[in-house]
Amino acid sequence: MKPAPFTYHDPSTPEEAVALLAQHEDAKLLAGGQSLMPMLNMRFVVPDHVIDLNNVAGLSGVTDTGEALQIGAMTRQRDLMRDDAVRARTPIIPEALENVGHFQTRNRGTIGGSLCHLDPAAELPCLMAVYDAMLTAHGPDGAREIPFAEWPLAYMIPTLGPDELLTTIRVPYWGAGHGYGFVEFARRHGDFAIIAVAALLEVENGTIRRAAISIGGADVRPIRLTEAETALVGAAANTETFKAAAEIARGIDAMSDAYVTSAYRQRLAATLTERALVKAGERANGSA
């Protein structure tokens, strides 16, 4: 028996889950369990109550609204990769998910779980940043919307109240023919990225019309490279442009840890940003 004793709850509706959260102090929500279960097994967390979301109805699935994908927080990573709407509208999501753990963990792991766990090097937060996703959380007083830019508060802490439940993620997608590229560097396949970069481009007659770049793994939250995005819009979609824009990534604030220095992360960010942009440029319709 690895986890410390807790009381287990398995509500069947989001309202019940929120009510249980309000009712119990020191409760943890259990989504796919691919992060919380290891922390329970190692007793890094010892909650009095575990509220299992796996039997809650209506929290998973993808709906295409015509301009955005509405993704239920309990949608499993494997199901996102297989979903037709996700593959057609946001092909960068399956491309990035190939790097999330292993297929056995993606069978359980959920999008909402990853966003709430908020590991700085996780791929899903990086993707939500590049799309300016909108998150919906339900609390005792009803629902509220949170733009992803405001979601990370600090290291592994989202701006989610202790009695709130993340229910939906809205991902406004880009037009057909947009270019996309997700690249990351990790020591082993499936490890958290030392640096991950997500890039989206819209190109018309060889000119970049719209650009978004997000860098994960560098800081406690994904970094949007807005300066480079501004520089890209209106420029010719070619390798020189991408190289120059990627150089801006060298100036980001990057963490140092026991394995990787800040300078190495900055250097990697520039290299991978260039590769992500080149990939996105090659895939964009309208590139010369």
Partner 1 sequence: MADTRDIELKVNGESHAASVETRTSLGDFLRHGLGLTGTHMGCEHGVCGACTVMVDGEAVRSCLMLAVQANGHEVTTVEGLADDDGTLHPLQEAFWKHHGLQCGFCTPGMLTSLAAFLRDNPDPSEREVREAISGNICRCTGYQGIVDAALDAAKTMQGN
Q: How many residues does the chain have?
A: 288
Instruction: Considering the complex, state which of residue 10 and residue 219 has its C-beta at the smaller distance from partner 1.
Output: 10
User: Of 234-263, which residues contact partner 1 (CB under 8 A)?
Assistant: none
Kindly write out the interface string for residues 2-31 of this chain, putting x where it contacts partner 1 by CB under 8 A and - elsewhere.
xxxxxxx-x---------------------
- Residue 202's nearest CA partner among 242, 171, 232, 165 is 232
- Residue in 13, 15, 25, 38 binding partner 1, rule: CB under 8 A: 38
Q: Which residue has the tokens 């005792």?
A: 140
- Residue in 103, 149, 175, 205 binding partner 1, rule: CB under 8 A: 103
3-state helix, strand, coil in the chain (%, to 5): 35, 25, 40
**Rounded-to-integer distance, Cα 21 and Cα 95, Å:** 35
Name the strand (E) or helix (H) holding 77.
Answer: helix 77-82
**Residue 50 touching partner 1 (CB under 8 A):** yes
Q: Taking a C-beta distance cutoff of 8 angstroms, is the pair 64, 89 a contact? A: yes
- Residue in 66, 67, 176, 188 binding partner 1, rule: CB under 8 A: 188
**Residue 186 touching partner 1 (CB under 8 A):** no
Task: Name the segment binding partner 1 (CB under 8 A); options: 15-23, 97-105, 207-215, 230-238.
Answer: 97-105
Q: Provide, rounded to whole angstroms, the least separation between the CB of residue 7 and partner 1.
A: 5
**Residue 119 touching partner 1 (CB under 8 A):** no
**Residue 189 touching partner 1 (CB under 8 A):** yes
Instruction: Considering the complex, state which of residue 37 and residue 220 has its C-beta at the smaller distance from partner 1.
Output: 37
**Residue 66 touching partner 1 (CB under 8 A):** no
The vertex-155 CA angle with 2 and 180, nearest 5°, equals 105
Q: How many residues bind partner 1 (CB under 8 A)?
A: 30
Q: Taking a C-beta distance cutoff of 8 angstroms, is the pair 240, 261 a contact? A: no
Residue 71 φ then ψ, to 5°? -110, 125
Instruction: Considering the complex, state which of residue 79 and residue 274 has its C-beta at the smaller distance from partner 1.
Output: 79
**Rounded-to-integer distance, Cα 278 and Cα 213, Å:** 12
Q: Which positions ≥6 away from 89 have C-beta within 8 Å?
A: 64, 69, 173
**Residue 108 touching partner 1 (CB under 8 A):** yes
Beta partners for residue 197, in sequence order: 183, 215
**Residue 101 touching partner 1 (CB under 8 A):** yes
Binding site for partner 1 (CB under 8 A): 1-8, 10, 33-34, 37-38, 40-42, 50, 52, 54, 78, 101-105, 107-108, 188-190
